[in-house]
Structure 1
Amino acid sequence: MSSTTLKAVFYSESLQKEMNVNVYLPPNYDAQDKYPVLYVLHSYKLNEDHWFKALNITKKADELITSGKIEPMIIVAPKIDNSFGVNSADHTGYVDGSGKPGDEGVLNAGKYEDYITKDVISYVDSHFNTIKSRNSRYIGGTSMGGFAALHIALRHPNLYSKVGGHSPALFVGKMWDVLEKMIYPTSTVRQENDPLALAASQKLNKLNIYLDCGDQDDFKEGTKKLSDILQAQKTKSFEFHTTPGGKHDDAYWSSQVENYLLFYGGFDRE
């Protein structure tokens, strides 16, 4: 039996609009009652197709499940717009100064954290055969999606047991002022949204955390800083990988997808 990939659209209460989501069902899906779920979040300017098409996660999952290296799992890639996965406004809209609606880089404000942690999980749990517990729920992402995954899992360790920040877009120096106003409007909100601040303040003893980036990555300084903070914290497990020559791009992430899946679904890590 081969795996199945579905494209779905559902209405998000938090955002008050319809959102796209891609879902991978493992080979022989009907043979098992329930499956763990991996949520993967896309980079800035991209969409729900990023992980499935550009990074080929479904093909790699097929291989690793068939060869018995990872547990069969459902993989969900939701569209998160250019939101960084934070609750940045009560109403969904575009951020002034970030571009025009329709521009690929325009920033999206709204309750995106609620959308990811409530609406997406609720949609997936009610439509697919999922194990509805944190132990079987994982989240990860690349770049902006890596920021979002870390922000969300560090704030909601009750929802996820594993999180991966794959070249996460972590800001330690000067950043685009329009983006800064959106995700860190005040120093108090920064404490609540910044993965670096959350890593230092949250109780993380139940989380398995995976960080990685290439050594040619513009965000490597922030990733290294987060790694230093996490090394000093009590986590269930923590690993940090750097790859010589790796850049902040699809070529690097594609080369790492097998390692990511072994982290989320490998049998020998529990």
Structure 2
Amino acid sequence: MTTRSVLAGAALFATVAVGPASAGTLESRTFHSPALGRDLPAVVFHPDHDGGPLPVLYLLHGYGGNQRDWTNADVLSTADAVFAEPDAVPMLIIMPGVGNSWYVDSMRYGNWDAAIAIDLMAAVDRSYPTDTRRAGRFVAGLSMGGYGALHLAVHHPTRFRAAAALSPAIFEDVDDAAAFPDFQIQFFAGAFGDPLQPAVFNERNVFTPLTSLADRTSGAPTAFYLMTGDDDGFGLWRGTLRFFQAARSAGHAAELRVHDGDHEWRLWRDELAPVLRWIGAVIRADRSAAQ
């Protein structure tokens, strides 16, 4: 999302130590996207698991990041540790690289909404033994990727069971581009029009679709997990708290975590394990309810 987080990500890349051999594996892949007219890059975490179709988590990077950000943040060792816990639910983790697209369809960057929600998911299902049901698909991300996770979940509710957003760069609908500070307009980087078009931003935004979410899933639940730093230097805790309230008001299950910290990798890295455990709990609860 931010220049500061980009620099933090670069520093993290340079300092992460190589750990001991682990049960899971990381694989660099490309998947063709008709919506983009080209291949999109991704890193895939595959757990050491032979127990049938795997749930899938699409794990999204922030502004200025790429498909390697979460691998630099210890996703391998974190996932191995969580999936080794009693009652854990191992899952395939797909980490796509989308540039600064904000995970939406736009004239500047191409059709990234369709590339992720349609093309990438179909390619992953063809390539790996996945649980292709809605109940087996999840999306999570940080900052711009937190916006992306919520955007994908509320605009494609029949595809995702739940979404987790860490320090998400989310804002309520606006009537005028002047509602955003100049630095935020720069971070949007033309994804919502250049100059920014409020109608385009609102149409892709994450708040209004909450009210019709249950109808669009025929009553099937959608769950949300939100985390923010109370010292977020960009004030993104405001949008996080508002989304939590809006989700609860619309009748959706929503969890909220507020930690002491800024807009920083320390928080996002530490929150990955709780997110994986939360997704596992959602899956176990669904399986129990279906019995």
**Does 2:179 align with 1:161?**
no
Deviates more, 1:64-73 or 1:202-211: 202-211
Offset, 1:190 = 3.2
Match of 2:240 in 1: 223
Offset, 1:22 = 0.7
- The CA distance in 1 between the partners of 2:85 and 2:276, in whole Å, is 13
- Post-superposition Cα deviations, 1:156-211, rounded to whole Å, max 9, x if no partner, equal 11000010111101135414445285326544433321112323453375201111
Matching of residues 118-157 of structure 1 within 5 Å: 118-157=118-157
User: Residue 86 of structure 1 is aligned with which of 101, 104, 107?
Assistant: 104
Deviates more, 1:4-13 or 1:174-183: 174-183
- Post-superposition Cα deviations, 1:38-75, rounded to whole Å, max 9, x if no partner, equal 11000100001111222x12211111111225201111
Cα 1:41/1:3, change in 2 over 3 Å: same
Instruction: Report the TM-score, using the length of structure 2 for normalisation.
Output: 0.79
Q: Any conservation in 1 of the 2:167–2:229 contact (CA below 8 Å)?
A: yes
Cα 1:15/1:143, change in 2 over 3 Å: same
Match of 2:205 in 1: 194
Q: Any conservation in 2 of the 1:40–1:76 contact (CA below 8 Å)?
A: yes
Runs of 5+ unmatched residues, structure 1: 90-94, 96-108
Runs of 5+ unmatched residues, structure 2: 1-21, 173-178, 287-291
User: Residue 76 of structure 2 is aligned with which of 58, 64, 74?
Assistant: 58
Cα 1:64/1:19, change in 2 over 3 Å: same
- The CA distance in 1 between the partners of 2:228 and 2:115, in whole Å, is 27
Offset, 1:133 = 0.7
Matching of residues 99-118 of structure 1 within 5 Å: 109-118=109-118
1:202 partner amino acid: L
Offset, 1:268 = 5.7
Cα 1:8/1:181, change in 2 over 3 Å: closer
Cα 1:64/1:241, change in 2 over 3 Å: same
Q: Any conservation in 2 of the 1:199–1:226 contact (CA below 8 Å)?
A: no
Percent identity over the alignment is 26
Offset, 1:257 = 1.4
Cα 1:45/1:181, change in 2 over 3 Å: closer
Deviates more, 1:203-212 or 1:142-151: 203-212
Instruction: Report the TM-score, using the length of structure 1 for normalisation.
Output: 0.85
Q: Any conservation in 2 of the 1:15–1:115 contact (CA below 8 Å)?
A: yes
Deviates more, 1:252-261 or 1:195-204: 195-204
**Does 2:254 align with 1:254?**
no
Corresponding pairs, count: 247
- The CA distance in 1 between the partners of 2:131 and 2:212, in whole Å, is 29
